Amino acid sequence: MFEKNVYLERRKKLRDLVKNGVLIFVGNTELPMNYPQNIYHFRQDSSFLYFFGIDEPGLAAIIDLDTGKEIIFGNDVEIEDVIWTGPLPLLSDKAEKFGVSSTEVFANFETYVCNARKENKTIHFLPPYNPNTKIFLTDLLGIPVNKLKENASMELMLAVIQVRSIKSVAEVAEIENGIDTAYEMFTKGMQLVKPNRYEYEVSGAMEGIALAKNGALSFPTILSVRGEILHGHAHGNLMNDGDMLVMDAGFETPNRYATDHTRSVPVSGIFTQKQKEIYQIVLDSQMLAIEAIKPGVKYQDVHLLSCKVIAEGLKKLGLMKGDVDEAVKQGAHALFFPHGLGHMMGLDVHDMEDIGQIYVGYDDEVRPIDQFGTAYLRLGRRLQAGFVLTVEPGIYFIPELYNLWKTENKFTEFIDYGKVSEYLGFGGIRIEDDVLVTETGHQVLGKAIPKTIAEIEALMGGGR
C-alpha cells in the first residue's frame, strides 16, 4: 500500500474527470471452491484497490460527486466472527489509512444507492466480471445480468482508464521490486528444466517462490513443451531432450501489482541449430520492438515492425518468401505469429481488461486492425510516458493452422509450406519483458532475466 495522499490524489483525479452523479465501486467477495467456507484465493477488484486501497472482501464504496462525500461500506467483525478470525481492526481505522474518513455498515450502501436513484442522480458503475458482483448489481439496480455491461458508465470507464494508465514512480518501483522475485522464479525454474522431468516440477517450484515472497501468481502460469498452444495451462508433459519449453509467468506483489515475463529454453540446456535460428529471430524482433518504444509512437506500428522482423528472419531461413512488407500487410506472418505484441500491465496483468480492452488499447485515432493475428493486439494506441506494457513476440508452429492454410492454398506467394513442414513438432518460442514508456523513450523494467542464447545456455549449465 502507498501513502494516504496517493489515494486522495487518485480519487481527486477521478472527481475532476466525471462531472456529476454517484460513482459506485463494489469490491470482490470470496468465492467458494466446493462449499461456501472453502474458498478460492481472494483477489480484490483492482479498481477498488486502486482508489480505496483495502484488500479485503465484502466492501463497497461511493464517491458522490454532487455532495463531495466519499464513504466505504462494510461490516466490522462481531464476537462470533472473532473466535474464527481473531480480533480485526475496525473498518474506520482501515479506511483512514486510505484517506476515507467516513464508513458505514454494508446495508447502508444499498440505501445510499436507492436514495440517489430516487433523486434521479446518475449511478456510475464499471462493467462487472465477478459473478457475485453481477448478481448484487442486478438486485441493486434492477438491470438484468446480461444488460449490466451495456449499462456501465462510459464516462467512469474512460476516466478510470485515463487515471490508471499512467503509472507513478511508486507504482513502477513496486513492479520493479516484483521483478526481483520474477527473476528468482525464472532463473531457479530454468535451472530445474531437464530431460525426463515433468513440466509441473518446474511450474510448481516457480509458484512456490511467488508464495514464499508473500505474493501470488499474477496469472496461471503457461509452461509447456507444447509452446505452440498459446494459453495452455496444463503442466503434465514429460520434458524430453530436443524440446523447447515456453515459460510464461508472473509474480503478483504483496500490493497486487503484476509482472509478466516469458522465456523459452531448450530442455537439454543447449539450443540445436534450428532452435538457435528461430530463437534469434524472436529475440531480434523483441529487441527492435523495444528500441522503437517512445511517447507518441503507435504501439500498433511497433507490433507491425516486430511482425516484419519475424517475416524477414523466416524469409532468410526459407520458410517465408516474396515481399516482406506485402506479406505482413496481408497477414501471412500470422501463420507463425498469430497474437499481439503486448498489452498494458499494472494491477492487472492485462491491465483493466475488465473495463474493456478496446478502450484501454485503442482510441478514436487508432482503431484495431481486423485481420487474423493483429486483431489480437490488445494495445494499439499512441504511447504515453508512464505506460507500462509488455513486449512479447513469438514464433510458433501450429499443426492445425498449418494444415488449414496449406489446404486452402493460403498465401502460397509468401509461405513455403514444404519448408515449414520440416518444423512441425518444433513447438514455439516467445520472449517477453515489461517496459516503461519514459519521457524520452523506454526502460526495460527490473533485473534482467537471462535472455540471449549464451546467457540461457550458461544458466542452464550448457547441457551438463
Residues 103-142 that bind ligand GLY (CB under 6 A): none
For residues 43 and 28, the answer to whether their CB atoms sit within 8 Å is: yes
CA–CA separation, 440 and 288 (whole Å) = 17
Which one of Mn ion, ligand GLY, none is in contact with 417 (Cβ closer than 5 to 8 A by kind)? none
Give per-residue burial for 415-444: e unless 16+ CB within 10 Å, then b.
bbbeebeebeebbbbbbbbbbbbeeebbbe
Pairing of strands 394-396, 261-266: unpaired
Residues 247-286: x/- map of binding to ligand GLY (CB under 6 A)?
A: -x-----------x--------------------------
For residues 351 and 379, the answer to whether their CB atoms sit within 8 Å is: no
Closest listed residue to residue 218, CA positions, set 182, 177, 193: 182
CA–CA separation, 342 and 355 (whole Å) = 17
312 lines the binding site for ligand GLY (CB under 6 A): no
Residue with smaller CB distance to ligand GLY, 199 or 457: 199
By CB under 6 A, name the one of 219, 359, 376, 417 that touches ligand GLY: 219
Which one of ligand GLY, Mn ion, none is in contact with 219 (Cβ closer than 5 to 8 A by kind)? ligand GLY
Q: Which residues contact 115 (CB under 8 A, 6 or more apart)?
A: none
Which one of ligand GLY, Mn ion, none is in contact with 104 (Cβ closer than 5 to 8 A by kind)? none
Q: Which three cell numbers stand for residue 29?
A: 467477495
433 lines the binding site for ligand GLY (CB under 6 A): no
Residue given cell 510464461 in the structure block: 248
Q: How many residues does the chain have?
A: 464
174 lines the binding site for ligand GLY (CB under 6 A): no
Closest distance of CB 378 from Mn ion, Å: 9
Closest distance of CB 350 from ligand GLY, Å: 6
Residues 177-216: x/- map of binding to ligand GLY (CB under 6 A)?
A: ----------------------------------------
Which one of Mn ion, ligand GLY, none is in contact with 44 (Cβ closer than 5 to 8 A by kind)? none
Closest distance of CB 201 from ligand GLY, Å: 21
Closest distance of CB 273 from ligand GLY, Å: 28
Q: Which residues bind Mn ion (CB under 5 A)?
A: 260, 390
Strand boundaries in 201-243, DSSP class E: 216-217, 222-224
User: Rule CB under 6 A: which residues touch ligand GLY?
Assistant: 219, 248, 260, 343
